[in-house]
């Protein structure tokens, strides 16, 4: 059984999951050990904004899993358990974080890293991002200023309280009705700087939107910033420390998370 699937629209993902699981069942019913082949990559992120464990580079090799070795059997078991949860999320049009998935069966998964690896295997196996699986990040970013929008039916009206911090939305695809009177967007590296600007009523005297990822920016913060750039067509300024870590954060906002791995190669 070959584990590589061609990239297709997310609407076909459920069918591909069904085909994959059926092939596993057929192998078991006929007394064969399932053989799952997962590509290995030098870089880990096909989509710089998705932060998943895929790559647009050519694979440098393959890992082949069967039921003949106990460690591989456990890894297949975890992959199928997580894949079942992903299938339910897609069928019910729900979203969950990796942490949510871990707490669904903590005694089986044993550690968060087991879930993380299984999700990475699924991304590579089906050549998709975590967002195609309805697995989302836990939002870490904050936003304030001359902005209001809706996310999944919830209203975020920063205009009513310009210097109040609001959480960056996790479901960026469901953000709509974006309205802004800002003249520019200011991205700050540190939460302490963000809070200082809030305390100084910075947005009251400056028509801007202020965003922070609280250090290294998570996927949701980067994707939300990109959405604002595309919808509002505003200039973006970034305030970071003048050191290698600050420049890395600046490059991540600009180019995506793959830049981190490029530095290490």
Selected catalytic residue, list 74, 102, 103, 166? 103
44 given a catalytic annotation: no
Distance between CA atoms of residues 107 and 105, nearest Å: 6
Taking the alpha carbons of 92, 95, 96, 98 in that order, is the dihedral positive or negative?
Answer: positive
Quick check: helix, strand or coil at residue 210?
strand
* Location of structure tokens 């836990």: 138
The CA distances from residue 146 to 14, 164, 232, 235, 236, in Å, are 40, 11, 12, 14, 14
User: What secondary structure letter does DSSP report for 53?
Assistant: S
Distance between CA atoms of residues 179 and 159, nearest Å: 9
Distance between CA atoms of residues 158 and 146, nearest Å: 6
- What is the set of active-site residues? 103
């Amino acid at each position: 059984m070959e584990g590589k699937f061609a990239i297709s629209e997310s609407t076909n993902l459920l069918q591909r999951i069904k085909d994959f699981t059926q092939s596993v069942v057929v192998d078991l019913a006929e007394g064969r050990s399932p053989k799952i082949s997962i590509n290995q990559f030098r870089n880990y992120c096909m989509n710089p904004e998705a932060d998943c464990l895929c790559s647009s580079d050519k694979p440098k090799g393959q890992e082949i899993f069967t039921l003949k070795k106990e460690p591989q059997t456990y890894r297949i078991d975890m992959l199928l358990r997580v894949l079942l949860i992903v299938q339910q999320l897609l069928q019910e049009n729900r979203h969950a974080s990796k942490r949510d998935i871990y707490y669904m069966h903590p005694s089986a998964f044993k550690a968060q890293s087991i879930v993380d690896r299984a999700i990475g295997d699924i991304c590579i196996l089906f050549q998709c991002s975590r967002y195609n699986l309805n697995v989302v990040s836990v939002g870490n970013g904050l936003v304030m200023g001359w902005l209001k929008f809706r996310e999944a039916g919830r209203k975020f009206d920063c205009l009513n309280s310009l210097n109040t911090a609001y959480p960056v939305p996790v479901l960026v695809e469901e953000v709509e009705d974006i309205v802004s009177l800002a003249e520019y967007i200011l991205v700050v590296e540190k939460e302490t700087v963000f809070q200082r600007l809030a305390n100084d009523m910075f947005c009251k005297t400056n028509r801007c939107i202020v965003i922070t990822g609280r250090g290294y920016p998570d996927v949701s913060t980067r994707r939300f910033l990109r959405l604002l750039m595309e919808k509002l067509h505003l200039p973006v300024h970034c305030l970071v420390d003048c050191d290698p870590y600050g420049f890395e954060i600046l490059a991540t906002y600009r180019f995506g998370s793959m830049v981190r791995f490029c530095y290490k190669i």
